[in-house]
Amino acid sequence: MWTFQVGGYQVLHKWLKDRKGRVLSFDDLFHYQKIVVALKETMRLMEEIDDLIPAWPIE
């Protein structure tokens, strides 16, 4: 998940980098965990879609 990119940047790395030098609250950590779950589900759905589409472009 760490290497998963959206818009050319690593989502988890950028989220942490944007908060560098700051103590993360419980809510921050909970939000980060929700991002991890969302990315995992996104990756699963992307794989499922790839399996359903035999070739690209669809003819």
Enter the pTM of the model. Answer: 0.84
Question: SS3 for 5?
Answer: strand
Interacting residues of 3 by C-beta distance below 8 A, sequence separation 6+ = 10
Residue 58 domain flag: no
Q: How far apart are CA 37 and CA 6, in angstroms?
A: 15
Tens digits of per-residue pLDDT, 7-54? 999 999 999 999 999 999 999 999 999 999 999 999 999 999 989 888
Residue 29 domain flag: yes
Q: How many domains does the chain have?
A: 1
Q: Which 8-state DSSP code applies to residue 56? A: S
Residue 31 domain flag: yes
What is the extent of the structural domain holding 20?
Answer: 5-52
Residue 34 domain flag: yes
Please report, for the chain, how many H helices and E strands are present, in that order. 2, 2
Residue 37 domain flag: yes
